[in-house]
Amino acid sequence: QVQLVESGGGLVQAGGSLRLSCAASGSTYNVKVWGWYRQAPGKQRDSVAFISNSVNTNYADSVKGRFTISRDNAKNTVYLQMNSLKPEDTAVYYCSARTGPSNYWGQGTQVTVSS
């Protein structure tokens, strides 16, 4: 079992920045890929960024060059640095941790970008 708690969401103006944090606990040694997803009202949950144990990263085209995913193993925390935010980035952001058979989710944190 892996427990995830997101924080760092909030209201920001377009062009601003936020850093989301995802604090992990439990069997984190089993996690192979850490990720961030987002879900806007009335839309499906979409992937935003991933980071693997080998520190390979992958980003959705819509956030490339603006968002950066990173992790601090000592703190068991994964981050999503979001710069040059746009109103279309408004969503609930979820942290995920994928082991072999399972995918764990946090409760989400709201990000609202005003124009």
Other beta carbons less than 10 A from residue 24's beta carbon: 21
With cut-offs at 50, 70 and 90, classify the pLDDT of residue 31.
very high
Please report the pLDDT score of residue 55 as a whole number: 83
Amino acid 98 reads R
Strands 45-52 and 18-26: unpaired
> pLDDT tens digit string along 3-26?
999 999 999 999 999 999 999 999
> pLDDT tens digit string along 61-115?
999 999 999 999 999 999 999 999 999 999 999 999 999 889 999 999 999 999 9
Other beta carbons less than 10 A from residue 69's beta carbon: 21
**Sheet of strand 67-72: strand arrangement:** 2-7, 18-26, 77-82, 67-72
